[in-house]
Amino acid sequence: MCSASGLRTKLVPVRYAQAQRCFVVPSSKRSGGTMGVTVETISPGDGRTFPKRGQCCVVHYVGVLQDGTKFDSSRDRNRPFKFKMGCGEVIKGWEVGVAQMSVGQRARLTCTSDFGYGKDGYPGVIPPDAVLVFDVELLRLE
């Protein structure tokens, strides 16, 4: 059963020479810096089919720390990862970032720690307060 996360976001598009970025900032911005997820398109999708709450997203991804250390990869397992959009099954950075991707799109999601694993990290894998970078490809919706 899905529950509402109550997340409200403000989208601020910024154009660059090679990529389009969209920085997402929570509406209840804390002091001490910018928080959220940056979505940078690597290759475009269909531009029409975006995930909706409750849909199953099928993705391939590679997750690395800011220093480039890989901590997880569905590509290495040769098995796509599935999650239900808007149901709290993944970190907030994915909920917000993947929701802005269209089917077929490949993007780099850079998540601040509050949109990742926070001050606790994930012991033995992700250090506390880590910025996470994901190469995500939205393969299909089910």
Annotated catalytic residue 42: no
DSSP one-letter string for 45-67? --SS----TTPEEEEEEEEEETT
**81 tagged catalytic:** no
| Residue 91 known to be catalytic | yes
One of 50, 83, 117, 126 is an active-site residue; which one?
Answer: 117
The answer to whether residue 61 is catalytic is: yes
**Catalytic annotation, pick one of 81, 83, 115, 134:** 134
How far is the C-alpha of 68 from the C-alpha of 86, rounded, in Å?
28
**Can you say whether the dihedral through the CA atoms of 54, 99, 119, 62 is positive or negative?**
positive
H or E segment and range at residue 129: none
134 catalytic per annotation: yes
Q: Which of 23, 72, 122, 135 is catalytic?
A: 72
16 is a catalytic site residue = no
Among residues 50, 61, 81, 83, which one is catalytic? 61
**Annotated catalytic residue within 50, 81, 83, 91:** 91
Question: Which amino acid, one-letter code, is at 82?
Answer: K
Backbone φ and ψ for 95, nearest 5 degrees, come out as: -55, -45
CB 85 within 8 A of CB 55: yes
- For residue 47, is it left (φ>0), alpha (ψ between -120 and 50) or beta? left
Q: Which residues are catalytic?
A: 61, 71-72, 91, 117, 134
